[in-house]
Amino acid sequence: MRTSGRHRREHLAWELLVALGPLAGEPPTLRAVWTAKGNSRQHDPAGILARYGLPPSPVRDVLIDYLTEVRPGLDYGSWLRYAHTLGRAFWWEILQTNPDQQDLRLAPEVVTEWRRRIKLTATGQPRRDVHSLLFRVRGFYRDLQRRALDEPARWGVWAAPSPVRDTDVRALRKAKRHQQARTQQRTRVLTPLLPKLVATATARRDWSVRLLAAAGGTGHDEQVVVDGVTYVRHDPPPLYLRQRRSRIWLRGPDGTHLDVTALEADCFWAWALIETLRLTGCRIEEAMELTQLSLRHYTPPTTGTVVPLLHIVPSKLDIERLIPMAPELVTVLLTIVRRVRGTDGRIPLSIRYDTQDRVHGAPLPHLFSRPVGARQEVLSGSCIRTILNVTAEAAGLEDNGEPVRFTPHDFRRLFTTELVGAGLPLHIAATLLGHLDLDTTRGYTAVFPADVSPPTGR
């Protein structure tokens, strides 16, 4: 325990037993074991519907069969939302309205009451995705009708009129247009703020490095002056095991204590994350899956010039792609590699937990990983949100007096808008982003007034 610096001894004991043989074949970490036993793992359709309290019935069996058949075509996160719609928001609500309902042919008064109930969530709040919910139920009914033609003996008895009207579909299209307009307006707001965010992230990274270097050579209660600000070195007593690690603390002018070691790490990862997302346009889960193996190169036989490439592994749509890297992106990724590389010159292996698919990946040399105790951990979602919010707050980003924050997906829209605005054809932008539908890429692109204004001189 002293050598490893671990605080949770049961984690270390489990990993040692797996490595030494008595528990060979078990998950490599205790966290993976707990995940496999709880709700943070993948479940089958029967287990999902059981969580919603649906009683045994022929309709429940049909839902299980249907969800089993559509599962291979969806990632687990999308499939789970679909199962929640059909199991909880649709059939469970129908049974609350009419407990004797035994088939999918619903009476008009049942449909009316169901539509009234789904306007509110389980907590009584107005539901924001009513139109999307109705669209999924309509797709379920239409899919059953199509399957009834192909396999009448199996699905024919369940073909029934859809409780969702065509007017609901038109309302969904209208709601999507409004959502797209809000998204594009947000992109127009964030575009002029991006340079300030990038500059702040770079400045904070450099400032934290100077602060850590200056504090490293001082003792308890000695003064440290950085950028004209005076700090005082503070060494807290090692009351607990986790405080015995080599961390540096400073007391600021206002009396607050700063963990300079953690501050420097947060500032570095905020800079690295912002630069990577804005220069690649990749999804946040794709960025977290980047490893040392993702850095590739290609030499065209015609020019003989080495072209650096970034390999994006299959994620949301199971499509891998290669992104040509600009020199600026190469510099950022090489800086990350130098940061993560251990004393032996290799990047430590880490296991990433996929929050969408709810599975643990294989041990890989992930780029966006850092030591947590004796383990190497990939940056978590809460860590990413925190460092982005702190950077935006430090930059003082505002829009009409309201503070503005960046989400990881905002950088993807900004990347798309910049590419298309620079004249890149839409189908090439879609390929770089991993989109199958050009309309999806078109929805990411915000149009500025200057882009639609008539040319001068006419």
Residue with tokens 């999806």: 440
Q: C-alpha distances in angstroms, 126 versus 135, 165, 205?
A: 18, 21, 42
Structural domain count of the chain: 3
Q: Say yes or no: 35 and 133 in one domain.
A: no
Q: What angle do CA 409, 200, 215 make, to 5 degrees?
A: 120
Task: Note the pLDDT of residue 452.
Answer: 39
Structural domain span for residue 9: 1-39
Q: Say yes or no: 146 and 120 in one domain.
A: yes
Which helix (H) or strand (E) element contains residue 403?
strand 402-403
Residue 185 in domain: no
Q: Phi and psi for 324 in degrees, rounded to 5?
A: -65, 135
Q: Say yes or no: 90 and 16 in one domain.
A: no
| This prediction's pTM | 0.82
Q: Say yes or no: 361 and 254 in one domain.
A: yes
Task: Note the pLDDT of residue 161.
Answer: 92
Rounded to whole angstroms, the Cα distance separating 330 from 135 reads: 43
- Contact criterion met (CB below 8 Å) for 124 and 96: no
Residue 434 in domain: no
Q: Say yes or no: 88 and 3 in one domain.
A: no
Q: Which residues contact 78 (CB under 8 A, 6 or more apart)?
A: none
Residue 313 in domain: yes
Q: Say yes or no: 280 and 325 in one domain.
A: yes
Q: Say yes or no: 311 and 387 in one domain.
A: yes
Residue 352 in domain: yes
Q: Say yes or no: 256 and 332 in one domain.
A: yes
Edge-to-edge strand list for the sheet holding 295-298: 295-298, 307-312, 321-324
Task: Note the pLDDT of residue 447.
Answer: 54
Helices 76-84 and 58-70: crossing angle, nearest 10°?
160
Task: Note the pLDDT of residue 246.
Answer: 67
Report the Cα–Cα distance between both ends of the chain, in Å, rounded.
78
- CATH of residue 300's domain is 1.10.443
Residue 439 in domain: no
Q: Which residues contact 367 (CB under 8 A, 6 or more apart)?
A: 290, 291, 292, 294, 333, 336, 337, 340, 347
Neighbours of 29 (CB within 10 A): 18
pLDDT digits (tens, 9 = 90+) for 117-174: 998 887 888 888 888 899 899 999 999 999 999 999 999 999 999 998 878 777 777 8
Q: Among 403, 419, 443, which residue terminates a domain?
A: 403
Task: Note the pLDDT of residue 100.
Answer: 92
Residue 433 in domain: no
Q: Say yes or no: 217 and 303 in one domain.
A: yes
Q: Considering just the CA atoms, what is the radius of gyration of the chain in Å?
A: 27
The tokens of 364 are what? 């890989």
- Contact criterion met (CB below 8 Å) for 324 and 308: yes
Q: Say yes or no: 380 and 397 in one domain.
A: yes
Residue 422 in domain: no
Q: C-alpha distances in angstroms, 159 versus 94, 100, 148, 151?
A: 17, 19, 6, 11
Rounded to whole angstroms, the Cα distance separating 398 from 404 reads: 5
Task: Note the pLDDT of residue 457.
Answer: 46
Q: Say yes or no: 75 and 35 in one domain.
A: no
Task: Note the pLDDT of residue 3.
Answer: 60
Neighbours of 319 (CB within 10 A): 13
Q: Say yes or no: 7 and 64 in one domain.
A: no
Q: Is 451 helix (H, G, I), strand (E, B) or coil?
A: helix
Q: C-alpha distances in angstroms, 251 versus 62, 210, 242, 263, 282?
A: 64, 16, 20, 13, 39
| Each residue's pLDDT expressed in tens, for the chain with a length of 458 residues | 666 555 667 878 888 898 898 888 887 877 777 766 566 678 889 988 988 889 999 999 999 999 999 998 888 888 999 999 999 999 999 999 999 999 999 999 999 999 999 988 878 888 888 888 998 999 999 999 999 999 999 999 999 999 988 787 777 778 778 887 888 888 889 999 999 999 999 999 999 999 999 998 888 889 989 988 999 998 877 654 444 456 888 998 888 888 999 999 999 999 999 999 999 988 899 999 999 989 988 888 887 788 899 988 876 556 778 888 989 999 999 999 999 998 788 899 888 888 888 888 888 999 999 988 767 889 999 999 999 999 999 999 998 889 999 999 999 989 888 888 777 777 777 777 777 666 677 666 665 554 534 444 44
Residue with tokens 């069996």: 61
Residue 253 in domain: yes
**Strand segments (E) across 127-261:** 223-226, 229-234, 249-251, 257-259
